Amino acid sequence: MQEELGIFSQGKIILIDKPLTWSSFDVVNKIRYAIKKYEQKKKIKVGHAGTLDPLASGLLILCSGKMTKQIEQFQGQEKEYIAQITFGFTTASYDLETELENPKDISNLTLPQIEIALKDFLGEIDQIPPIFSAVQVNGKRAYQSAREGEKIELKSRKITISELEILDSDISEKKADKMTISLRIICSKGTYIRSLAHDLGQKLKTGAHLSGLRRTKIGEFKIEDAQTIEEFLEKWKPIEKLS
């Protein structure tokens, strides 16, 4: 693999299957450190093309070297997600980062009702980001203000959702306090799946939050072509110097 020394400095696209609890920056830092050791360099550019929350897993595009110039292009491509949306409770963060609250009666909720409600979220829509997000308000991240108990208002933004498909649900099981669907989503840059979950719950008057999320596609890049962090580290171990 001697001929591959410098491959990352020259520019490379790296597809990683981000694990749960890792931030996108955690992944970038880990991969950058491994690349520096492999190429025996003090500095190398590595960045990601679209953040995934710590509570989400799936496809993360990393770019190194000269390919970092393409990051904005990758960020603008359509993305596909598989989301678990749970009805019956809301949370302040719209996902499981914060506690369940506001229990609602879901005894009359049906799958056809959800399917009909989802139609209103297709196409170009106005969406308000979650308060627990990285959106900047007056030079400060919204999540910082939210955690400090400050009241802030976020402006809506135009996003496009081109496909919504229910893959599975436990609606028929009629659980007493909550029900969950698995939803495939194809959407534009800037879409918050947490907001989609929350807004769907508000529309159905049942409350809802995002209980799981996996990104499966960005443009033509698929999760099937991604490698785990462990696989990357194993493949790109530093080359031992001959004595």
| 198 contacts 92 by C-beta, under 8 angstroms | no
DSSP at 111: H
Residue 169 phi/psi, 5-degree rounding, is -160, 165
- Considering the candidates 53, 168, 199, 225, report the single residue annotated as catalytic: 53
Instruction: Look at the block and give the residue holding tokens 């890792």.
Output: 22
| CB proximity list for 185: less than 8 A, separation 6 or greater | 80, 81, 82, 83, 161, 163, 164, 191, 193, 196
199 is annotated as an active-site residue: no
Angle between helices 111-118 and 193-204 (to 10 degrees): 120
SS3 content of the chain, % helix, strand, coil (to 5): 30, 30, 40
Whether the Cβ atoms of residue 89 and residue 210 lie closer than 8 Å to each other: no
Catalytic residues: 53
